[in-house]
Amino acid sequence: MAANWKEKMLRSCEMTENYLKDCVAKLSAPEELKEAMLYSLLAGGTRLRPYLCLAFCRLCGGNEQDALPFAAAVEMIHTYSLIHDDLPCMDNDDLRRGKPANHIRFGEANALLAGDALLNLAFESVLCSNLPADLVKEGLAVLGQKAGACGMIGGQTLDLAAEKITPDEEMLLQINRGKTSALIQAACVMGCVAARADETKKQAANAFGEALGITFQLTDDLLDVRGDETKLGKPIGSDEKQNKTTFVALLGISATEQRAKEENERGKEALSCFGPEKEELFLLADWLLERES
Amino acid sequence: MAANWKEKMLRSCEMTENYLKDCVAKLSAPEELKEAMLYSLLAGGTRLRPYLCLAFCRLCGGNEQDALPFAAAVEMIHTYSLIHDDLPCMDNDDLRRGKPANHIRFGEANALLAGDALLNLAFESVLCSNLPADLVKEGLAVLGQKAGACGMIGGQTLDLAAEKITPDEEMLLQINRGKTSALIQAACVMGCVAARADETKKQAANAFGEALGITFQLTDDLLDVRGDETKLGKPIGSDEKQNKTTFVALLGISATEQRAKEENERGKEALSCFGPEKEELFLLADWLLERES
């Protein structure tokens, strides 16, 4: 089963990357813009979100092909957010996944536009789906809600505001629900939408996505204090250096570990309405909890 | 008729602004983000695009209320593009319509996010329409195409590239079709879509919008060399100072005037399939041609 799960992850990664390449290739847009978009789209990463979108579609009895434009859309949003996040006025990061950040490679103005273009293209990708118009509308509504001011961008705004104060645990949770969980939730719920799943399953997918996002952030904070720099590919202790308030700083290591385990369990429990094939998602959740990078 | 036209313009401006305010007010998003979004959304401007969207809907026999979410969406795209354009890495403008630019008022990072949030909200606004799902899908497709890599953002990318070379007339036209015409075309065509207009009318609206955008740019270039600074509200000669290639620089004043008149005629001729109520759009086109600011 474990091997089977990783195979599925690799396959959805390949499907998504091929789809992303096609999506950009067929645009009658300036070549330099397409190059900047593809540079970041194809820079690697776990493709966690597309995998979740396709997996939930499968678990709800749908056809993965129907969910592919949705999965690609979520990955486009994720990619644009990284490009804009790396800009000097935001996190000012020169490197992303070991490669020069988009603005280092193409200049700030082009990076800004490549990000805007990917955000725009995400909504167009959903429209490319062959699903009936009402499902396309529903998928778009989920994406818009989770990616926008009430979701990811809202979380980023709170995160900026938190630089000036010391956030408490509830605010930290709120920031991470926006910054990390929201887009993961979009992926999970949109997979259900593509499979015409009922409201119960969509709500379960939403709760699972929220917990997975929080677990991801908790383990991220833990890795930053006790990770292996060679496995992590980046120096540890960067949160403290940047004066960033983390769960570890607020709760300590052992309580943060405990919270991560609890969130992981909460996520699994949310999936009670799904059949035994949900085991695949349990393995993914455990992998995220125990990851070393 | 002339007074009637201006009244209609004022009324669509009021309708759009009320709708925009409501749209942002009802978001459960951080207050500071909503404030930054509204700051630029309500900073004035001609509201040319929403007017065109509502006018084409009326001319096609539709109900303006159906087109309002489309009109607001185009204005949100226009506003986000101005916020991102003013950023230091783009045009680095501190003032917009006589007020501090968004990034001067809220900081660069917040301005970047407010722009992203407006781009995202534009697609959500279209989804709020009460029209049948297939028309909503069609409206979204037009918006995505005209605002994205093949439209406005493509034009902005070409414009950046043109800073390094001296563009010829054809390239200048291509830049302005993207930067200026594309979103005006979106407004015109989406108004037709909201009224369930036929393909002929949508194509006519598209051609009219293209011509109107080019006319707008030609007169803009003319105003920059011979405008009245007090009426214009900004110093003349700024294109030359910024080393920007304009139609006037390429063709000279009198040929640019001639081209503006020709484009204006071309736009009017495109509307031959519409009834006598199209006179309203002719008056608008003439007003844009003869404007002093």
Taking contacts as CB-CB distances below 8 angstroms, the residues of chain A near B132 are: 133
Q: Which pLDDT does position A3 carry in this prediction?
A: 57
Using alpha carbons, list the distances in angstroms from residue B112 to A66, A106, B79.
Answer: 33, 18, 12
**pLDDT per position as a tens digit, B219-233:** 999 998 887 766 766
Q: Which pLDDT does position B235 carry in this prediction?
A: 67
ipTM score assigned to the predicted complex: 0.96
SS3 B96: strand
Average pLDDT over residues A96-107: 95
Cβ contact B246:B30 at 8 Å: no
**pLDDT per position as a tens digit, A119-147:** 999 999 999 999 999 999 999 999 999 99
Kind plus residue range of the DSSP H or E element containing A257? helix A253-270
Checking if the pLDDT of B48 tops 60, the result is yes
CATH number at residue A194: 1.10.600.10
Domain that holds residue A177: 2-290
Kind plus residue range of the DSSP H or E element containing B95? strand B95-96
Enter the tokens of residue A158. Answer: 């709170």
Cβ contact B55:B11 at 8 Å: no
Distance between CA B133 and CA B144 in Å, rounded? 16
Interchain contact, A149 vs B117, CB within 8 Å: yes
Cβ contact A192:A70 at 8 Å: no
Counted domains in chain B: 1
Bridge partner list, B95:
B100
Strand runs (DSSP E) across A79-121, as ranges?
95-96, 99-100
Please check whether residue B153 touches A, CB under 8 A.
yes
Kind plus residue range of the DSSP H or E element containing B99? strand B99-100
Distance between CA B253 and CA B259 in Å, rounded? 10
**pLDDT per position as a tens digit, A175-193:** 999 999 999 999 999 999 9
Cβ contact A67:A135 at 8 Å: no
Q: Which pLDDT does position B291 carry in this prediction?
A: 86
| Chain A from 159 to 188: CB within 8 A of any B CB | 160-161
Distance between CA A180 and CA A187 in Å, rounded? 12
Enter the tokens of residue B71. Answer: 């009109």
pTM of the model: 0.96
For testing the chain A interface, which of B32, B83, B153 should be mutated: the one with the most A CBs within 10 Å?
B153
Distance between CA A211 and CA B257 in Å, rounded? 62
Enter the tokens of residue A204. Answer: 């379960």
